[in-house]
A and B are shown apart, each in its own frame.
Chain A
Amino acid sequence: MAGSYCNKDNNIQVVEGKTYIYEYAIKKPGQAYVGFITLDNSLIVQDICFTINFSDGKIKDVTKAERIKSNTRKYSKKENGNIYIGSLLCYTSENFTCRNKLISDDIYKMISSDFLNVSNKERLKMLDSFVK
């Protein structure tokens, strides 16, 4: 199961490297997926995906799953600094605010009013603080 995700309960270990953020469109009512990829020495060293459950304008709970490392995962870099992993577009801290939106800003503002103004590493920590 080289590439599968496993549920994590402990606090996140933020690793060295550049962190990118990705999002998926909302499929189920009240549930959003947001993830973070960290690259170090051109290798994907961390991939953490958060499941955010919300209702009535408030976050209900957040869970996270970390993808087990696999050396077979490849990515491609765009001129603006974003990266693609397959068809998944991962944004730099700065580019995230002008992303092709799949999740509305309102949901990020439920996490923190500053969520869109901070770095990806700080966004990761903000989301991690919701995980019980």
Chain B
Amino acid sequence: MTIGADVGMWQGGSMANGTMNPFKWDYSSGKTWGYMAGGALVGGLSGGFGGSIASSGGFMANTMGIAGASYMNSVGMSALTGGQTDVSISFGFASYNFDKGEWGYLGKKGNSTLENIGYGLGALSNLRDINEIINSTQATLYTDNSDFISHSAIVDKNSGDPLMSFGPNDLKTPSSKLGYATYFRKSTSDFHYKSTLPVDITVNKYAIDAVRGLGRVLPFQGITTNCVNMASLSLWLNGIPNIGLSPWILYGTTWAYTMGIRPDLFSYYFTQYGR
């Protein structure tokens, strides 16, 4: 709800001033403040509404959450601006504009970059829903908290067996961090993990198996094909957006996702206002 209110305030200010850059807004105008307050209200309510649907865990909950939030948001903003904005509904990878009677979707000719980013993020929510229907497995992302190098592993919550814990599998012994980073080594997807910094997630084993298949042909190298990249890819294929630059950043972004800080649920802002 807080994120929705913040984005809504920015959205309202943008509409009042015709530019997304808040440094160019006319803060002496009552219209700016009125639209910002109205936008915060609409954004907060619609974001909270969408978030509550998505977190309910029901059938296609994430897609329904986006649909509910986007429709409520566009109706609210249309009312706030006296019909200057269109009423639309987003379904993640696609949207429908009621005023123009027009469908928009990922990769449609004429889309702006922002629109495609929005539809792409929305598609992740669709993917997440499909994954939960086809094969849902309770898992935990563990991050080794003992040092900077760390280690990321996605583990079956019930058995404790690694689903994706990419690491080396040969006798080469790195004597320095440079050696760790640069040696090409045989790999395994079942490397040792430490049960620290747990983040509970739901994953689809088919998506994980696809990455394990990749792990069978890729070598391990500390700086490129490493534990965090493979865990990150597994999560992306499960519809969980994340940043897999280091185990620590992967932990932070995945934790944020599970706490509801989810850019995919606000993807409709990009598709509605990214033209």
Task: Please report A residues at the B interface, Cβ cutoff 8 Å.
Answer: 1-6, 24-29, 33, 35, 49, 65, 67-68, 70, 72-73, 86-88, 101-104
CB-CB under 8 A from A5, the residues of chain B are 160, 194-195
Whether the pair A104, B160 counts as a contact (CB closer than 8 A) is: no
9 more contacts with CB within 8 A, not counting A3-B158, A3-B159, are A4-B140, A4-B142, A25-B169, A25-B191, A26-B173, A27-B151, A29-B176, A29-B179, A87-B188
Whether the pair B195, A1 counts as a contact (CB closer than 8 A) is: yes
- A/B interface sample: 7 pairs, CB < 8 A: A1-B140, A3-B159, A4-B195, A5-B195, A26-B174, A72-B158, A103-B173
Compute how far the CA of A66 lies from the CA of B147 in the bound complex, rounded to whole angstroms.
Answer: 20
| A88 contact from B151, B168, B190, B222, Cβ within 8 A | B190
Asked whether B243 is an interface residue with its Cβ less than 8 Å from the other chain, the reply is no
Whether the pair B191, A24 counts as a contact (CB closer than 8 A) is: yes
Whether the pair B160, A29 counts as a contact (CB closer than 8 A) is: no
Highest count of chain B CB atoms <10 Å: which of A25, A70, A73? A25
Compute how far the CA of A101 lies from the CA of B170 in the bound complex, rounded to whole angstroms.
Answer: 7
CB-CB under 8 A from A104, the residues of chain B are 171, 173
Asked whether B31 is an interface residue with its Cβ less than 8 Å from the other chain, the reply is no
Compute how far the CA of A25 lies from the CA of B220 in the bound complex, rounded to whole angstroms.
Answer: 11
Compute how far the CA of A6 lies from the CA of B195 in the bound complex, rounded to whole angstroms.
Answer: 7
- Give A53's nearest chain B residue, CB to CB: B146
Compute how far the CA of A73 lies from the CA of B159 in the bound complex, rounded to whole angstroms.
Answer: 6
CB distance from B202 to the nearest CB of A (A): 16
Compute how far the CA of A67 lies from the CA of B64 in the bound complex, rounded to whole angstroms.
Answer: 40
Whether the pair A29, B195 counts as a contact (CB closer than 8 A) is: no
- Give B189's nearest chain A residue, CB to CB: A87
Compute how far the CA of A5 lies from the CA of B151 in the bound complex, rounded to whole angstroms.
Answer: 15
Whether the pair B185, A1 counts as a contact (CB closer than 8 A) is: no
Whether the pair B159, A72 counts as a contact (CB closer than 8 A) is: yes
Whether the pair A28, B161 counts as a contact (CB closer than 8 A) is: no
- Give A73's nearest chain B residue, CB to CB: B159
Compute how far the CA of A4 lies from the CA of B194 in the bound complex, rounded to whole angstroms.
Answer: 8
Compute how far the CA of A73 lies from the CA of B160 in the bound complex, rounded to whole angstroms.
Answer: 8
CB-CB under 8 A from A6, the residues of chain B are 195
Compute how far the CA of A25 lies from the CA of B161 in the bound complex, rounded to whole angstroms.
Answer: 18
The verdict on A25 contacting B180 (CB below 8 Å), with A1-B157, A3-B155, A86-B161 known, is no
The verdict on A25 contacting B158 (CB below 8 Å), with A1-B198, A6-B195 known, is no
Whether the pair B156, A27 counts as a contact (CB closer than 8 A) is: no
- Give B186's nearest chain A residue, CB to CB: A25
Interface residues of B in 150-167 (CB under 8 A from A): 151, 155-162, 167
The verdict on A24 contacting B155 (CB below 8 Å), with A29-B174, A73-B160 known, is no
- Give A100's nearest chain B residue, CB to CB: B171
Compute how far the CA of A65 lies from the CA of B192 in the bound complex, rounded to whole angstroms.
Answer: 12
- Give A32's nearest chain B residue, CB to CB: B173
CB-CB under 8 A from A86, the residues of chain B are 161-162, 190
Compute how far the CA of A105 lies from the CA of B170 in the bound complex, rounded to whole angstroms.
Answer: 14
Asked whether B84 is an interface residue with its Cβ less than 8 Å from the other chain, the reply is no
Asked whether B24 is an interface residue with its Cβ less than 8 Å from the other chain, the reply is no
Compute how far the CA of A2 lies from the CA of B157 in the bound complex, rounded to whole angstroms.
Answer: 7
| B167 contact from A25, A49, A68, A103, Cβ within 8 A | A25
Asked whether B175 is an interface residue with its Cβ less than 8 Å from the other chain, the reply is yes
CB distance from B152 to the nearest CB of A (A): 12
Compute how far the CA of A49 lies from the CA of B162 in the bound complex, rounded to whole angstroms.
Answer: 15
Asked whether B149 is an interface residue with its Cβ less than 8 Å from the other chain, the reply is yes
CB-CB under 8 A from A29, the residues of chain B are 174-177, 179-180
CB-CB under 8 A from B156, the residues of chain A are 3
CB-CB under 8 A from B147, the residues of chain A are 28
- Give A69's nearest chain B residue, CB to CB: B160
CB distance from A3 to the nearest CB of B (A): 2
| A102 contact from B170, B179, B222, Cβ within 8 A | B170
